[in-house]
Amino acid sequence: MFLNDNTSHYKRLTLSGTLKSPRISFDPPLLILVPVPLDMKTETYVNIIPKDYSRPSALQVEVPVLEFEDGERINPLSVQFPSGQIIAVSPEGINVGLTCYISFRSSRPVSFLGNLFFTDDEKNRFSLQVAATAENCLLTIYPYLMLHRTDQQIILTSGKGSECFLT
């Protein structure tokens, strides 16, 4: 340390520190949505858990677009932040978590495995893997039908005028 341009040493000062990069984790860490019939919505909430943010930061989300073989493009995923998308930092330096609402709906049969990318103000990117399916195969959507068995009715026809009702 020098004082008033005097080149004689008064005291040697050594500084050291550790810089932690901000991180985000998700609960659940992988999102597997219940397979649904065409044009029906499946949805869930995901907790976003921020760590080591020293100041508030806004999150942006990149939602993948799916392209079919015929060239049609759809955006079956929707992401909303019911309480806002700002990562807050308390006066004690504690990061405040967020809740994210994710839904999936498709009018065309599709099975999807992809990533939602969450980007903060410092351009740090964090991914959440999402799996979702929409189709009308009874074997695939059986879990959905059992969850909604009082809301749905299945009618099977043999083509000869006879029908079988499953409720």
Question: pLDDT-derived band of residue 92, with 50, 70 and 90 as boundaries?
Answer: confident
Q: List, in sequence order, the alpha helices (H) in 42-154.
A: 138-147
CATH of domain 23-136: 2.60.40.10
Residue 1, classed as helix, strand or coil, is coil
pLDDT for position 99? 95
Find the range with the poorest average confidence among 62-66, 85-89, 153-157: 153-157
First-to-last alpha carbon distance for the chain, in angstroms, is: 83
pLDDT for position 115? 96
CA distances from 125 to 22, 30, 82 (A): 10, 16, 21
pLDDT in tens, 113-140: 999 999 999 999 999 999 999 998 888 8
pTM score, whole prediction: 0.78
pLDDT for position 5? 66
Q: What whole-number distance in Å separates Cα of residue 134 and Cα of residue 112? A: 9
Domain boundaries, the chain: 23-136
- In the chain, % of residues over pLDDT 70: 85
Residue type, 124: N
Q: Which residue has the higher pLDDT, 118 or 162?
A: 118
CA distances from 105 to 7, 69, 100, 137 (A): 72, 19, 17, 16
Indicate whether 105 pLDDT > 60. Answer: yes
Burial 127-141 (b: 16+ CB within 10 A, else e): ebebebbbbeeeebb
* 88's tokens: 């807050």
H or E stretch covering 100: strand 98-104
Average pLDDT of the chain is 87
